[in-house]
Amino acid sequence: MGNSSGWRGPAGQRRMLFLFLLSLLGQALSEPIRYAIPEELDRGSLVGNLAKDLGFGVGDLPTRNLRVIAEKKLFTVSPENGNLLVSDRIDREEICGKKSTCVLEFEMVAEKHLNFFHVIVLIQDINDNPPTFSQNITELEISELALTGATFALESAQDPDVGLNSLQRYYLSPDPHFSLIQKENLDGSRYPELVLKAPLDREEQPHHHLVLTAVDGGEPSRSCTTQIRIIVADANDNPPVFTQDMYRVSVAENLPAGSSVLKVMAIDMDEGINAEIIYAFINIGKEVRQLFKLDSKTGELTTIGELDFEERDSYTIGVEAKDGGHHTAYCKVQIDISDENDNAPEITLASESQHIQEDAELGTAVALIKTRDLDSGFNGEILCQLKGKFPFKIVQDTKNTYRLVTVGALDREQIPEYNVTITATDKGNPPLSSSKTITLHILDVNDNVPVFHQASYTVHVAENNPPGASIAHVSASDPDLGPNGLVSYYIVASDLEPRELSSYVSVSARSGVVFAQRAFDHEQLRAFELTLQARDQGSPTLSANVSLRVLVDDRNDNAPRVLYPALGPDGSALFDMVPRSAEPGYLVTKVVAVDADSGYNAWLSYHIVQASEPGLFSLGLRTGEVRTACTLGDREAARQRLLVTVRDGGQPPLSATVTLHLIFADSLQEIQPDLSDRPTPSDPQAELQFHLVVALALISVLFLLAVILAISLRLRRSSRPATEGYFQPGVCFKTVPGVLPTYSERTLPYSYNLCAASHSSNTEFKFPNIKAENAAPQDLLCDEASWFESNDNPEMPSNSGNLQKQAPPNTDWRFSQAQRPGTSGSQNGDDTGTWPNNQFDTEMLQAMILASASEAADGSSTLGGGAGTMGLSARYGPQFTLQHVPDYRQNVYIPGSNATLTNAAGKRDGKAPAGGNGNKKKSGKKEKK
């Protein structure tokens, strides 16, 4: 506290003792913190170390942020050391007036942890105001008949200081006729009275001059003087007398101006002018004169201003009654002001921040509230509550301080802010209330996972798409704000190889658009699946996954490919031999083609676009089978040429062409002259072709000899009787049917049986009856009923139970219903446009193997010309695996059905196809003998 002269001397010691007693009566920090300072301290003067008294360390001050909450900023807190300092001039008389105790109460707020601290500062009076008289000269008329001991009231001096610093004593200048006595009012104020101690004699001295001095009790003391002029008047021996020495009345505050308060009355026993009484105020200050008015004739006291209990609760007024003979009488009027509930409660927000996170725990303080009511008693007691239903409640800390805390869960996505109305109501009758609305903003936290707009995504992309094209768009939403709601997209998993994923697709992290990094090929990749992740930017990061299935749709970008007939290594075409005795419908050959596309794009149709003699042959629209259309005669040319086109079902359709060379002859010897008549080609390649033909013939003979040798060795080793039944009259060796152990993706999984009859002319290859459930790898011999015997053998009994006669040529190359892949009710092989089961590779293999076997079995012919063979070139012998032929059956689907064709290599019926009657040979070459 600041130094002042008011602290020296006995009075200062008494003040120090008072402060010491206050410190002994102090309570814990939860009670108000009390300080005492003198008034009129300089700005920046120390009041006390508030941080120390609150238990805060110096290091805590920057985070605590102590602030003074008061209407008048008289104090401030030093942020460096926590000292409470004076920030403005403090005038006790201006703040508290004549109150004996002047106390300033205010709240300190600590921003961290949001708490109030109540502070009470006692303002001690210093002697900064001297006593003053309202008049410099006071005239007093005293009758000469005044008795000794008579008293006369004098005007009192006014001193705004209180306690010892207020007016203490009056001194009168020495005079033989007068002395001075000092009296006190009910409120403790002192006033002087003049006492007549010796009779007056107007004839001796009509006037007396006195000096009245008023002195206060300060150190040093202050004083003032006034002149008293006494006029000795003629005798009036009856002074006025008031009916009461003290008049007391209680009035309500806010009494309208002009209202009557009370009426004083004095009685004078004299008559005439000496009995006329005039009433006047005496010993009152300026404030009272502004509030009250006294009728000088009637003595009625009325109000001329508004009374306010909160400013002052009582007034003591002196009234003088003077008669015409200058006799006076005095009385006191005590006016008590009663409180009315005329002040509504006031609400003040003591906290600056009005933001709260949505994940705040229950009981978190949101705001600090302070209330005040200027009324007293029940009129000043306040009840603070919320108006409306909110997830908050008000908790009272002290009498007039409250905290707004959370009592329910907050969700910014549902309610981003609350307009909370706080109502303060007093307990007066009728009660008064006031309201204040504050807006609480809910701060966002990352509590929402991104949500995709669809549970899964499926998109169709046509093959041959341009690289970089957008193929899909995924979208997820996050109701959070800022980075918490900013969604990015990533590919986190795929059924593609990880090293290939980036070369196929990518996703835009911002937009969720999926781009193709390359052109897709339906024939290589028909579908793939991605797992996309939507991830926000919050902390911690939240994410969600969704699957995206990409289906690559087929386009007609592959033309049909003819597998049979094919050109030889030298570029020459094959020819098929047709016996002239062939009946209509005789199967001559079959065009085998495939298409790498799917669906309608792979639905092939066969058409004859050019023929040497139209009408001789017919072509299956869907099967590609070439059959005789009529009975052949001698007038038709021996050589026929067919140009066949294979078209797919795409839009626009793609096609391939192939040329078939057909020769009418019953044996190969018949066509040799025709071949020899052809001019020798000038190309040296003809010589090479001739040698190749000779080599093929030699290979066929050697192969036949090897078969005969193998059969002979087998007959010698056989010792069981049952064995003889298998080789009478023929013997067969059977290879293991089914899938080869060395089967690969580009090798057709088929094998065949080699059956040799006892007569070399009847030895032939038989296409196996392949059934996965019946064929065992350990079976070495053929079933007698499953291979074909020629009718040329006269020794063969017609009713043999072990051997069958050779069946006529099988003109139906199609598989039975059990052999066909696809749905159970599908039909195949007609020319009416029925959807085909695309078993091209299987049928082609049957044709090639059967023709090769027939050609090899006819050892008596140079190139193989026996009846019942198709003359397939030796280059398509048993060792040919067709590794260059892919399996395209899965490409074709049946319209209106979910079924797709699958590899049914192991599902065959029990019918073995019959061999054809034609031999095949290269055309365009001259055979050299």
Residue of 750 and 526 predicted with greater confidence: 526
pLDDT of residue 155: 87
10 Å Cβ neighbour count for 482? 11
Tens digits of residue pLDDT in 856-870? 334 333 333 333 333
Confidence of residue 576 (pLDDT cuts 50, 70, 90): confident
- Cα 733 from Cα 706, distance rounded (Å): 12
Residue 473 pLDDT > 90: yes
- Cα 31 from Cα 23, distance rounded (Å): 12
Please, is 652 exposed, middle or buried when counting C-beta atoms within 10 Å of its C-beta (0-12, 13-18, 19+)?
Answer: exposed
**Tokens encoding 779:** 């079976």
Residue 876 DSSP code: G
- Cα 783 from Cα 726, distance rounded (Å): 8
Measured CA to CA in angstroms, residue 846 lies from 883, 892, 912 at distances of 15, 21, 10
Do the Cβ atoms of 371 and 353 come closer than 8 Å?
no
pLDDT of residue 897: 38
- Give strand pairing partners of 189: none
Confidence of residue 196 (pLDDT cuts 50, 70, 90): very high
Do the Cβ atoms of 479 and 445 come closer than 8 Å?
no
Residue 775 pLDDT > 70: no
Do the Cβ atoms of 851 and 916 come closer than 8 Å?
yes
Residue 657 pLDDT > 90: yes
Helix (H, G, I), strand (E, B) or coil at 329: strand
pLDDT of residue 487: 95
Residue 513 pLDDT > 70: yes
Do the Cβ atoms of 811 and 829 come closer than 8 Å?
no
Measured CA to CA in angstroms, residue 466 lies from 127, 248, 290, 463, 551 at distances of 100, 108, 99, 9, 16
Look at the chain and count its residues.
929
- Cα 646 from Cα 666, distance rounded (Å): 30
Q: Which helix (H) or strand (E) holds 549?
A: strand 543-553
Residue with structure tokens 């009981």?
363
- Give the pairing of strands 753-757 and 730-734: antiparallel
**Tokens encoding 566:** 């094919």
- Cα 554 from Cα 602, distance rounded (Å): 10
Cα torsion through 441, 446, 447, 448, rounded to 10:
110
Residues 22-38 have a mean pLDDT of 63
pLDDT of residue 494: 93
Residues 669-693 have a mean pLDDT of 62
Confidence of residue 881 (pLDDT cuts 50, 70, 90): very low
- Cα 209 from Cα 28, distance rounded (Å): 62
pLDDT of residue 531: 95
Q: What is the 3-state secondary structure (H, E, C) of 697-708?
A: HHHHHHHHHHHH
pLDDT-wise least confident of 126-135, 224-233, 784-793? 784-793
Residue 30 pLDDT > 70: no
Residues 277-294 have a mean pLDDT of 90
- Cα 489 from Cα 476, distance rounded (Å): 9
**Tokens encoding 359:** 């994940």
Residues 581-609 have a mean pLDDT of 91
pLDDT-wise least confident of 115-124, 329-338, 841-850? 841-850
Measured CA to CA in angstroms, residue 812 lies from 625, 669, 816 at distances of 9, 28, 10
The pTM of the full predicted model, rounded to 2 decimals, is 0.48
Residues 79-97 have a mean pLDDT of 85
**Tokens encoding 596:** 């790498």
pLDDT of residue 885: 43
Handedness of CA 761, 767, 770, 775 (dihedral sign): positive
Q: What percent of the chain has pLDDT over 70?
A: 70
- Cα 508 from Cα 505, distance rounded (Å): 10
Helix (H, G, I), strand (E, B) or coil at 110: strand
pLDDT-wise least confident of 25-29, 415-419, 716-720? 25-29
pLDDT of residue 904: 34
pLDDT-wise least confident of 197-206, 210-219, 592-601, 826-835? 826-835
For the chain, how big is the Rg over CA atoms in Å? 66
Closest-CA residue to 373 (of 325, 409, 341): 341
Residues 435-447 have a mean pLDDT of 91
pLDDT of residue 153: 87
pLDDT of residue 914: 35
Q: What percent of the chain has pLDDT over 90?
A: 31
pLDDT of residue 68: 83
Do the Cβ atoms of 770 and 737 come closer than 8 Å?
yes
Residue 749 pLDDT > 60: no
840-857 helix and 685-717 helix, angle to the nearest 10 degrees: 80
10 Å Cβ neighbour count for 676? 12
Residue 720 pLDDT > 80: no
Closest-CA residue to 41 (of 163, 128, 164): 128
Residue of 747 and 636 predicted with greater confidence: 636
Residue with structure tokens 């009582």?
314
Residue 649 DSSP code: S
E-assigned strand segments in 714-788: 730-734, 753-757, 764-766
Residues 350-371 have a mean pLDDT of 87
Residues 464-487 have a mean pLDDT of 93
- Cα 403 from Cα 110, distance rounded (Å): 13
Confidence of residue 821 (pLDDT cuts 50, 70, 90): very low
Do the Cβ atoms of 492 and 533 come closer than 8 Å?
yes
Residues 334-339 have a mean pLDDT of 90
- Cα 774 from Cα 515, distance rounded (Å): 52
**Tokens encoding 579:** 């016996």
Tens digits of residue pLDDT in 698-707? 999 999 999 9
Residue 29 pLDDT > 50: no
Angle at 553 between CA 551 and CA 558, to 5 degrees: 140
Residues 250-274 have a mean pLDDT of 87
pLDDT of residue 488: 95
What mean pLDDT, rounded, does the chain reach?
74
pLDDT of residue 767: 38
Residue of 64 and 301 predicted with greater confidence: 301
Do the Cβ atoms of 93 and 161 come closer than 8 Å?
yes
- Cα 382 from Cα 425, distance rounded (Å): 5
- Cα 918 from Cα 871, distance rounded (Å): 5
Cα torsion through 684, 685, 687, 693, rounded to 10:
-170
Closest-CA residue to 247 (of 340, 335, 171, 371): 335
- Cα 586 from Cα 628, distance rounded (Å): 5
- Cα 86 from Cα 40, distance rounded (Å): 10
- Give strand pairing partners of 282: 318
How is 68-107 classified by DSSP, letter by letter?
A: EE-SS--EEE-TTT-EEEE-S---HHHHHTT-SSEEEEEE
Residues 437-461 have a mean pLDDT of 93
Measured CA to CA in angstroms, residue 13 lies from 9, 485, 840 at distances of 6, 70, 126
Do the Cβ atoms of 824 and 736 come closer than 8 Å?
no
pLDDT of residue 8: 42
**Phi, psi (5° rounding) for residue 462?**
-70, 140
Measured CA to CA in angstroms, residue 1 lies from 7, 22, 38, 39 at distances of 11, 15, 8, 11
Confidence of residue 341 (pLDDT cuts 50, 70, 90): confident
- Cα 433 from Cα 422, distance rounded (Å): 10
Residue of 370 and 24 predicted with greater confidence: 370
Tens digits of residue pLDDT in 162-179? 888 888 899 999 999 999
Do the Cβ atoms of 622 and 839 come closer than 8 Å?
no
